[in-house]
Chains A and B, each alone.
Chain A
Amino acid sequence: MDRNRRSELLARANSSELTAMAEAFLSRRSIAEEIQVVNPPEVGMVMMQVREPVCKERFHLGEVVVTRAEVAVAGVRGWAMRSGTDRETTLAAALLDACAEHDVELAAEVQALCERTADRIAADERREWEELRATAVSFEELD
């Protein structure tokens, strides 16, 4: 799992799961003594880009509220941005990102959390699609 994918999944992971894992990592002396909050969580707006499906061009949909944070563990930086205003969960996500970069053993735990998140998102999307399927309309395309 590359870092982009991990960041994407940490941004959508369940809040309680994230904070529980962050607390567990912080109970380790090797993490607690080496952590540095580089950027405390802060709330702001970022422009959301969407790629339209016809010409595949990006356009600006609008601004969304996000929270971002950055931490370092033994000098290894971790970063997270999540939609919404939940500061501590964003800080937890940044901590998990740093730990995953810093320690192979912790990286496996973070990856397992990310995989559970990916499975949940896929299941949610399948469920939503099942609800929408009844109203879907198929068009034939003319070249």
Chain B
Amino acid sequence: MNLAIDPEARRMPAKVAACRFDALESQAIFKVMLDTTSRPGLILDLPRRIVDRIPSALAPLVVLADVETRVHVIDTPTFAWSEAVTSATGARPAQLNKADLIAVPADGREHLTSIFTFAHPGSAFSPESGARLMIGVNDIRSHGTSDSAGVELVIRGPGVEGERGLCIDGLTEADVNAWRTTNSRFPAGIDVWLTTEAGRIVAIPRSSRLDVVATWPTQERK
């Protein structure tokens, strides 16, 4: 028997539908995540059709989320996706310090230092329970230029031959210091993907060592 529900009411809300990827889309995003994680600091692009559909910072989270994960999506006046993400994936909403997956949109970075501090790093016995953060930033470049903003980092560690430079407009030195502190008890720690609105993505897993080599006045957080 079918319940007497108006067919129009059976239509899935647009944001929930946007967060539901088919197998090929999920694979394409996951492949980019694997490639970026295995080569920390390497800048790649998320699939165009995904970036056109949902904010870039959500794509990696939606791919990893399922009914067994706890997620924390920072909602802002211009970014209200947490309900859609939990509906589409079945993941449970959780407080920041209990979440497995955390998404911070580009206009939600106001408390990023605290987010780096309170994200759950797991433990030496359970490093797999460390949180994965997906953070929207204004821009990601491989090196600083005269119009740079934010921080220039040098990344060393597994997956990096020698060292790799990265210039991120959207992070402050205080953010990076809090991040380094949380990752100071390896193998516990947090894994981070940074994304831009245009779909550029870079991963900095907990095994990477970060040094700030230059800072510029941070642009208005937007």
Contact = CB atoms under 8 A, between A and B. Distances in A.
A110 interface: no
A38 B3 contact: no
A9 B2 CA distance: 22
Contacts of A88: 1-3
A77 B83 contact: yes
A27 B4 CA distance: 8
A40 B3 contact: no
A23 interface: yes
Interface string B4-15: 111001111100
A32 B6 contact: yes
A23 B4 contact: yes
A38 B90 contact: no
Interface residues of B, number: 18
Contacts of B88: 39
Interface in B1-52: 1-6, 9-13, 16
A111 interface: no
A20 to B, nearest CB: 10
B21 to A, nearest CB: 14
Nearest to A87: B2
Grouping DSSP codes into helix (H, G, I), strand (E, B) and loop, the B interface class, with mixed when no group exceeds half, is loop
Contact of B9 (A23, A35, A68): A35
Given A37-B10, A39-B16, A77-B87, A26 B4 contact: yes
A95 interface: yes
A107 to B, nearest CB: 19
A83 to B, nearest CB: 13
B67 A38 contact: no
A98 interface: no
A26 B9 CA distance: 12
B68 interface: yes
Nearest to A47: B68
A87 to B, nearest CB: 9
Interface of B: 1-6, 9-13, 16, 67-68, 83, 87-88, 90
10 contacts: A23-B3, A35-B9, A36-B13, A37-B5, A38-B87, A39-B87, A46-B67, A47-B68, A68-B67, A77-B87
